[in-house]
Amino acid sequence: MNKTLVCGTSLVLLVTASVHAQRTESEETPEFTLNQLETSIQHVFEMIDADENGSITLEEIDLLREDSDEPLTRDELVSRSRRLGLINHYFRTDEEINRFEVGDVNSDRSMTREEFENLRSNIRTHRLKLGLQVLDSNKNGNVEADEFAAHLEAFDEWDSDGDGALNRKEMSEIPELHRIQIELNRPMFNLRAEAEVDYYIAEHERRAAAGQDESPTRRLPPIFTSGAAASIDELREASKNTFNLLDANNSGSITLNEIDIAKELIEGEEKLPTEKLAELRRRSEVISYTFMNVEEKIDNFEVADTNHNGTLSETEFDKMSSTVRTHILQLGLDSFDTDNNGSVVLSEFSAHLDNIEEVDDDGDGYLSPEEMHEVSDFRVNMDVHVYQSEAFGREREPEAQSRVN
């Protein structure tokens, strides 16, 4: 177990729910005095001020810059998770940034591979620096305790009845209540950090025991009706229906232009009528599952470097997402295109079902959930998804018709 387990951690909502569940319905919302909030914020400050010198520096909040292969104990993971949660809460910023400019460290208007590989950490550092600057009112590059707790100066404004404590009504009227959420719920935050780490440790051990890949590359569509068997004949029909959906111009073949529809979908969100937009979204979902599931490892930098000069211009960087997406779609299309003519016909699209009867162990013409476990081709999973979606739609038709009548 190493620190990477929690580096990308997002707070687990189930944990929050379980903590809330420990409260009884009759429990009254507590009131908070200024002294209580100041004590709480001081404790938070001390947790982030790792060197205990009375000020918080960029180095102390940029935890993910730390590079160590040494495994962390559970207590160390919990402490780190708490600090990360506090840092993300108090130093986050919604200020828009130019990702290319942040990544272009030497400001030469091009991004080298090294700069690209450091992009995420540089952006995180930049955002933390902006968050620190917001709190650093004396602009000395650090955040002292009084600056960290400066938002509590508005306490008298929040305490509208002047009784020296914040009640539920007063708290509900605080414009930026999220600013003091940690102070109000510090015990719960601490419990959540512990439960979060325990959850990830358990999940890590479960996946390791099951021999599962830590980061699966294939995204499978959800099975619409769990536990239902799928007719092999109707699976082939579902595959044909999927093909027809993707063959937008009804030419009898699927081309790259017909599946590279990200721009069309964005524009359609504002222009298309509801029925047409729903069909386009459906196409987009099927395209994602069918053509974006490639096994080949993609070098985003190399793909985005369209002029092959070893660096990314700002234009290449800005177009990276669409360039990489198109590249992956082409790879996905190529995996079906057995005659290499640049398009996919129905026989190529459904070839994975040619010998599907071999999986039907009991020979009843249906694939049971147990038999599906033997299928390694993710495209069959897609066919089952389409088949069961259509079956669900057929079941709902009488109900929908009765509403009309």
Rounded to whole angstroms, how far apart are CA atoms 248 and 241? 12
Q: What is the pLDDT of residue 38?
A: 93
**pLDDT tens digits, one per residue of 302-340:** 999 999 999 999 999 999 999 999 999 999 999 999 999
CA 42 to chain centre: 33
Q: What is the pLDDT of residue 29?
A: 56
Higher pLDDT, 18 or 279: 279
Higher pLDDT, 330 or 369: 330
CA 13 to chain centre: 14
**pLDDT tens digits, one per residue of 230-272:** 789 988 988 998 999 999 999 999 999 999 999 999 999 989 9
Q: What is the pLDDT of residue 365?
A: 92
Higher pLDDT, 349 or 17: 349
What's the whole-number mean pLDDT along residues 187-195? 81
What's the whole-number mean pLDDT along residues 284-312? 92
User: Which residue has tokens 């940690």?
Assistant: 182
What's the whole-number mean pLDDT along residues 276-284? 91
Query: What six digits make up the tokens of 48?
Result: 């982030």
What are the phi and psi torsion angles at 392 (to 5°)? -60, -40
Q: What is the pLDDT of residue 10?
A: 39
**pLDDT tens digits, one per residue of 97-106:** 999 999 999 9
Angle of CA points 151, 153, 158, to nearest 5°: 90
Rounded to whole angstroms, how far apart are CA atoms 153 and 146? 10
Q: What is the pLDDT of residue 391?
A: 54
Q: What is the pLDDT of residue 25?
A: 41
Domain edges within the chain: 4-209, 230-404
Rounded to whole angstroms, how far apart are CA atoms 363 and 60? 64
Q: What is the pLDDT of residue 20?
A: 43
Whether 343 has a pLDDT exceeding 50, the answer reads yes
Q: What is the pLDDT of residue 126?
A: 96
Whether 221 has a pLDDT exceeding 80, the answer reads no
Whether 205 has a pLDDT exceeding 80, the answer reads yes
Average pLDDT over all residues of the chain? 83
pLDDT category at 395 given cuts 50, 70, 90 is very low
Give the chain as a 3 state SS string: CCCHHHHCCCCCHHHHHHHHHCCCCCCCCCCEEHHHHHHHHHHHHHHHCCCCCCEECHHHHCHHHCCCCCCCCHHHHHHHHHHHHHHHHHCCCCCCCCHHHHHCCCCCCCECHHHHHCHHHHHHHHHHHHHHHHHCCCCCCCEEHHHHCHHHHHHHHHCCCCCCEECHHHHHCCCCHHHHHHHHCHHHHHHHHHHHHHHHHHHHHHHHHCCCCCCCCCCCCCCCCCCCCEEHHHHHHHHHHHHHHHCCCCCCEECHHHHCCHHHHHHHHHHCCHHHHHHHHHHHHHHHHHHCCCCCCCCHHHHHCCCCCCCECHHHHHCHHHHHHHHHHHHHHHHHCCCCCCCEEHHHHCHHHCCHHHHCCCCCCEECHHHHCCCCCHHHHHHHHHHHHHHHHHHHHHHHHHHHC
What are the phi and psi torsion angles at 383 (to 5°)? -65, -40
pLDDT category at 22 given cuts 50, 70, 90 is very low
Query: Is the torsion defined by CA of 392, 14, 168, 153 positive or negative?
Result: negative
User: Any idea which of 54-63, 202-211, 258-267, 381-390 has the lowest mean pLDDT?
Assistant: 381-390
pLDDT category at 156 given cuts 50, 70, 90 is very high
Whether 216 has a pLDDT exceeding 70, the answer reads no
**pLDDT tens digits, one per residue of 116-134:** 999 999 999 999 999 999 9
Question: For residue 214, which of 203, 226, 224, 229 has the smallest C-alpha distance?
Answer: 203
Percent of the chain with pLDDT over 90: 54
Whether 165 has a pLDDT exceeding 80, the answer reads yes
Higher pLDDT, 68 or 132: 132
In sequence order, the 6+-apart residues with CB closer than 8 A to the CB of 386 are: 238, 239, 241, 242, 286
Question: For residue 289, which of 232, 384, 220, 357 has the smallest C-alpha distance?
Answer: 220
Whether 12 has a pLDDT exceeding 70, the answer reads no
Q: What is the pLDDT of residue 289?
A: 82
